[in-house]
Chain A
Amino acid sequence: METKKEAKHEAPAKQEVKTQAPAAKDAAAPVKTGPSEKPRIGVFICHCGTNIAGSMDIEAVGEYSKTIPNVAYVDNYKYMCSMPGQAVINKAIKDNKLTGVVVAACSPRLHEPTFRTATKEGGLNPFRFEMANIREQNSWVHMHDQEGATDKAKDAIRIAVAKASLLQDLFPKAVPVEHAAMVVGAGVAGMQAALDLANAGIKTYLIESQPTIGGRMSQLDKTFPTLDCSQCILTPKMVDVGRAANIELMTYSEVDAVEGYIGNFDVTIRKKARGVLTPAEAEARGIVGGGCNGCGDCEPVCPVIKPNEFEVGMKPRRAIYISHPQVVPLIYTIDFDSCIKCGLCVTACGPEKKAVDLEAKDEFVKVKVGTAILATGYDMFPVEKKTEWGYKKFENVISSLEFERLICASGPTSGHLVRPSDGETPKRVAFVLCAGSRDNTGNGKPYCSRFCCMYSLKHAHQIYEKIPGVQAYLFYMDIRSFGKMYEEFYYRIQDEGAKFIRGRVANILEDPKTKNLHVHTDDTLLNRPVDMEVDLVVLAAAVQPKEDTNRTRKLFGVSCSMDGWLLEAHPKLNPCGTTTAGVFLAGVCQGPKDIPDTVASAEGAASAASIPIHKGEVELEPYFATCIEERCAGCGMCISLCPYSALALVEKEGRTVMEVTEAKCKGCGTCGGFCPGGAIWMNHFATPQIVAQIDAFLLGGEQ
């Protein structure tokens, strides 16, 4: 580390470079003025270990920085973000009476807050800090061009100094945080998150698009590796959710619109037309003691029969239905897409309950929340697209989710595994792993779906438990039994008699007479091609985000990653957050997970989501627009341009001028760029500051 004595240097007054003069005529009237003395900028260059130092000549950059106008101090350090690094800044501000700080290092997305704090602790307003990204946008992409990288770093610092010279004291606005949260999706992730938030004393809106909560876990028979009955361990949670005072459960509902920002989200919820009144809704209409009590009298009289989605289409339901007996809430739902409005259910329900309302329409409800968690779960990949395996073509090729329902005692066959073609009990069952996963053909998913190895082991166990004399074959590329007690589970299943054949299934053919399947692969360990005749094939199909998630995530401003799952703020250090403040992720919507990891991520999301609420207020970065009232003509043309409706015309001392609602303003710059009179000042991105940066880049530098 170079000592300060060598680095200390007074910026020469002259210089061919005129970085300081803001070319714009409207140099006047910044709204909040800082001390109007000559700028004294400190430049601190980070090595970031070899991340930056390995690609460029830090010393040369430092030497150059000394020549930039307004630079009063230059230093460098291995890790500026470390404690000693911060101390360097702190001391330098005080010793050199700096008026602004430039740190040339990584992306502000990473450490801007850190260095702002250092600036503040050194005695300056934290917004007198500017960061030059010489890592992500320089060193990391120019690793083989030392000279180019060094020159580019010099430019970056020169530009940053030009802006830092014009930065002003700014004061973040604290806004109150609504003491309420929202969880979108009520599978095990959403339910867990909602319970945690509710138990922390936070009113939580739990939105679920299906008529019942429970999600995928409700559809499972048993869970690995404990072999708990899935619905049995889930039901207590479902009941808790239904009962919790702090949880307002809205099933058969979807998020329709989201406005606002962290601490103050205005969410519009579409309550889909259920056609059936809850007791509360009936009461509100004056039907005392009425509303649906889940008696089920309506169901048998309904003439419309549809496939039950919960049973993956293997069991029928009526147009008025509940998915399964343990639904929460226990309220029937009418599928208006298939209902013929015959009214038989109305009669069956009777004059006392009067719970059916065939004229029901979607309702919209607006709620205000401080933070939101997305827990929208997954769908199965449509594995019929992989035509080589014959799904939806050969009757006895089924998907793993269909297997779950068949093997489940509350499923379409009361837990008896039968062949769809003839109802016989299969004696030879093939489990095809990686069906559609780890697939780079473009017709499939390139990622590993994570939990299929484990549930296939579980499936093998289940058939050994139920069918004496059965033989299970697992066709795999790898067995990924990564979690706690998972390898032991693999050992157990192999011990129970399952045969593991290491080969990805090439194709499956059907015997047209017996409807048996021939599974073709290569036993790579035995080095022999295989033609295995089996009675039933179960495809461990890939999973993918639920289709509607794409719409919902956009409402909340959440991106998705290359693989389609929702994008976390940082894959290692912030897997539950997103880059949108106040919005968090829980469960499989962020990426495939088993139940333990899902619950853990839900708890993590709930914890993160509760922090701003418990703090009670959140600081907004002061990047808002401000009106330079002396210049404002009150024309009002900016008002309609604002995408966030943050501007309004007001009367002030007899004049009509524009006023900004700072909490709504996102600092997008639309108004500032437009105002014909130059009367709008964009804090921290003001025109003179930007122009100074442009001038510094184009006109400055070594020629």
Chain B
Amino acid sequence: MSEAKHKFAFYLGCIAPNRYPGVESASIKAMKKLGVELVPLKGASCCPAPGAFGSIDLNVFYAMAARNLVLAEQMKMDIALVCNGCYKSIWEVNHKLKHNKDLRDGVNEVLKEIDMEYKGTINVYHTAELLYNDKFIGVEKVRSSVTNPLTGARIAVHYGCHLTKPHKDREFEDEVMLNTEHPSWMEELVAAIGATPVEYRNKMQCCGAGGGVRGYDIVHALDIANEKLINLKAVGVDALTDICPFCQLQFDRGQIEIKEKFGVSYDLPVLHFAELLGLAQGMSPQDLGLDLHGISCEPFLQKVL
């Protein structure tokens, strides 16, 4: 697998590179092992955060997302990203601009000031999608790339919201990804890396961080995350995995805040699927920067390593 079959411009967002760099590193290495090359996207900015930014002025939101898209258009490469929030900004704006001339014209009027023009020539993918979709990688290839199966680990999945909702505004080649009520495709990937996927009550609920709520009313946001943590505790899991660094921040740092504000603790390790995949492919916890996590991953690592 020396020659990468697929190449993508790697859109990083903010939280992955600036708070959980292990996600960035693991993604690059794991995808490379699976035949996908993630190439740096020079000069990218915040996607911009759909909740925080879109709430203020949607015109700016479109323009900034379009700027990021144009950077990839200039590279003549499709974008791959690791964050649900970024997916909403980058994929959805790309989709909306492709199909709505009025939005496109509005955006290009602003981009003209910085000598850029959105043309609608590239596509956007979430790395989780690339892992699941047979056209790019597929569950079987993921399974064969595993050298350190996470046997015995009970891992629950937090799907997050913005990747798949609203399903009517999403277009996935794999129709199973359009199921927003009872999906199981991430559980398939968890099983592929040797772990035991665990279902829990109301698994599709939001983490509570989005829409600027984590900044506006942290206690309210944490209570939403706490509901999920209660449900997770009820079934007993070794780790929670996510495909969104913002959700990860909410559950990881959030547990510290929850202990502080609500007086309850779970000590539940929270890992992005890229980090889990990295572990399963033999990367070390050090390589993955797991020491940066708010909640220690030690108990989990004890089990799987």
Residues on the A chain within 8 Å of B199, using CB: 512
B168–A441 touching, CB < 8 Å: yes
CA A511 to CA B168, docked complex, whole Å: 28
A442–B168 touching, CB < 8 Å: yes
A509–B201 touching, CB < 8 Å: yes
Q: Mark contacts of A657-697 with chain B using CB atoms, 8 A cut-off: 1 yes-contact digit, 0 otherwise.
A: 00000000000000000000000000000000000000000
Residues on the A chain within 8 Å of B201, using CB: 509, 511
CB distance from A510 to the nearest CB of B (A): 9
CA A442 to CA B166, docked complex, whole Å: 14
Instruction: Tell me if B55 is interfacial: C-beta within 8 Å of chain A.
Output: no
Q: Mark contacts of B143-155 with chain A using CB atoms, 8 A cut-off: 1 yes-contact digit, 0 otherwise.
A: 0000000000000
A507–B181 touching, CB < 8 Å: yes
Residues on the A chain within 8 Å of B182, using CB: 387, 390, 393
Instruction: Tell me if B179 is interfacial: C-beta within 8 Å of chain A.
Output: yes
CA A641 to CA B238, docked complex, whole Å: 76
Residues on the B chain within 8 Å of A442, using CB: 168
Tell which of B180, B181, B199, B202 has the most Cβ of chain A within 10 Å: B181
Find residues 507-523 in chain A having any chain B CB closer than 8 Å to their own CB: 507, 509, 511-512
Q: Mark contacts of A3-19 with chain B using CB atoms, 8 A cut-off: 1 yes-contact digit, 0 otherwise.
A: 00000000000000000
CB distance from B214 to the nearest CB of A (A): 21
Instruction: Tell me if A388 is interfacial: C-beta within 8 Å of chain B.
Output: yes
Q: Mark contacts of B189-222 with chain A using CB atoms, 8 A cut-off: 1 yes-contact digit, 0 otherwise.
A: 0000000000101100000000000000000000
CA A441 to CA B169, docked complex, whole Å: 12
Residues on the B chain within 8 Å of A388, using CB: 181
Q: Mark contacts of A386-398 with chain B using CB atoms, 8 A cut-off: 1 yes-contact digit, 0 otherwise.
A: 0110100100000
CB distance from A315 to the nearest CB of B (A): 28
CA A107 to CA B278, docked complex, whole Å: 73
Residues on the A chain within 8 Å of B202, using CB: 509
Find residues 129-181 in chain B having any chain A CB closer than 8 Å to their own CB: 168, 179-181
CB distance from B5 to the nearest CB of A (A): 34
CA A507 to CA B181, docked complex, whole Å: 8
CB distance from A156 to the nearest CB of B (A): 38
CA A390 to CA B180, docked complex, whole Å: 12
Which B residue's beta carbon lies closest to that of A393? B182
CA A258 to CA B180, docked complex, whole Å: 46
CA A388 to CA B179, docked complex, whole Å: 9
Query: What is the total number of residues of chain A having a CB less than 8 Å from a CB of chain B?
Result: 10
Residues on the B chain within 8 Å of A511, using CB: 201
Q: Mark contacts of B273-300 with chain A using CB atoms, 8 A cut-off: 1 yes-contact digit, 0 otherwise.
A: 0000000000000000000000000000
Residues on the A chain within 8 Å of B180, using CB: 387
CB distance from B109 to the nearest CB of A (A): 33
Q: Mark contacts of A427-447 with chain B using CB atoms, 8 A cut-off: 1 yes-contact digit, 0 otherwise.
A: 000000000000001100000
CA A388 to CA B180, docked complex, whole Å: 8
A387–B168 touching, CB < 8 Å: no
Find residues 389-428 in chain A having any chain B CB closer than 8 Å to their own CB: 390, 393
Which B residue's beta carbon lies closest to that of A508? B181
Query: What is the total number of residues of chain B having a CB less than 8 Å from a CB of chain A?
Result: 8
CA A511 to CA B199, docked complex, whole Å: 11
Tell which of B180, B182, B201 has the most Cβ of chain A within 10 Å: B182
CB distance from A288 to the nearest CB of B (A): 60
Which B residue's beta carbon lies closest to that of A387? B181
CA A442 to CA B199, docked complex, whole Å: 30
CA A442 to CA B168, docked complex, whole Å: 9
Which B residue's beta carbon lies closest to that of A507? B181
Residues on the B chain within 8 Å of A441, using CB: 168
Residues on the A chain within 8 Å of B179, using CB: 387
CB distance from B154 to the nearest CB of A (A): 15
Which A residue's beta carbon lies closest to that of B180? A387
CA A387 to CA B164, docked complex, whole Å: 14
CA A241 to CA B48, docked complex, whole Å: 71
CB distance from A596 to the nearest CB of B (A): 38
Which B residue's beta carbon lies closest to that of A520? B202
Residues on the B chain within 8 Å of A387, using CB: 179-182
Find residues 225-251 in chain A having any chain B CB closer than 8 Å to their own CB: none
CB distance from A474 to the nearest CB of B (A): 23
CA A251 to CA B179, docked complex, whole Å: 42
CB distance from B69 to the nearest CB of A (A): 28
Residues on the B chain within 8 Å of A507, using CB: 181
CA A388 to CA B202, docked complex, whole Å: 12
Find residues 481-512 in chain A having any chain B CB closer than 8 Å to their own CB: 507, 509, 511-512
Tell which of B179, B199, B201 has the most Cβ of chain A within 10 Å: B201
CA A511 to CA B234, docked complex, whole Å: 12
CB distance from A260 to the nearest CB of B (A): 46
Q: Mark contacts of A79-106 with chain B using CB atoms, 8 A cut-off: 1 yes-contact digit, 0 otherwise.
A: 0000000000000000000000000000
CA A511 to CA B200, docked complex, whole Å: 10
Which B residue's beta carbon lies closest to that of A442? B168
CB distance from A404 to the nearest CB of B (A): 26
CA A572 to CA B201, docked complex, whole Å: 51
CA A442 to CA B202, docked complex, whole Å: 25
CB distance from A436 to the nearest CB of B (A): 15
CA A425 to CA B153, docked complex, whole Å: 39
Which A residue's beta carbon lies closest to that of B178? A387
CA A442 to CA B181, docked complex, whole Å: 17
Residues on the B chain within 8 Å of A390, using CB: 181-182
CA A441 to CA B168, docked complex, whole Å: 8
CA A512 to CA B201, docked complex, whole Å: 9
Residues on the B chain within 8 Å of A509, using CB: 201-202
CB distance from B15 to the nearest CB of A (A): 29
Residues on the A chain within 8 Å of B181, using CB: 387-388, 390, 507
Which B residue's beta carbon lies closest to that of A389? B181
CA A43 to CA B18, docked complex, whole Å: 83
Which B residue's beta carbon lies closest to that of A510? B201
Tell which of A393, A442, A509 has the most Cβ of chain B within 10 Å: A509
Find residues 2-19 in chain B having any chain A CB closer than 8 Å to their own CB: none
Which B residue's beta carbon lies closest to that of A511? B201
CA A509 to CA B181, docked complex, whole Å: 10
CA A511 to CA B201, docked complex, whole Å: 8
Which B residue's beta carbon lies closest to that of A394? B182
CA A509 to CA B168, docked complex, whole Å: 22
CA A393 to CA B181, docked complex, whole Å: 11
CB distance from B234 to the nearest CB of A (A): 10
CA A512 to CA B198, docked complex, whole Å: 12
CB distance from A187 to the nearest CB of B (A): 34
CA A507 to CA B179, docked complex, whole Å: 13
CB distance from B223 to the nearest CB of A (A): 14
CA A106 to CA B182, docked complex, whole Å: 54
CA A674 to CA B172, docked complex, whole Å: 51
Extra contacts besides A387-B182, A393-B182 (6): CB < 8 Å: A387-B181, A388-B181, A441-B168, A509-B201, A511-B201, A512-B199
User: What are some 7 contacts across the A-B interface (CB < 8 A)?
Assistant: A387-B181, A393-B182, A441-B168, A442-B168, A509-B202, A511-B201, A512-B199
Residues of A near any B CB (own CB < 8 A): 387-388, 390, 393, 441-442, 507, 509, 511-512
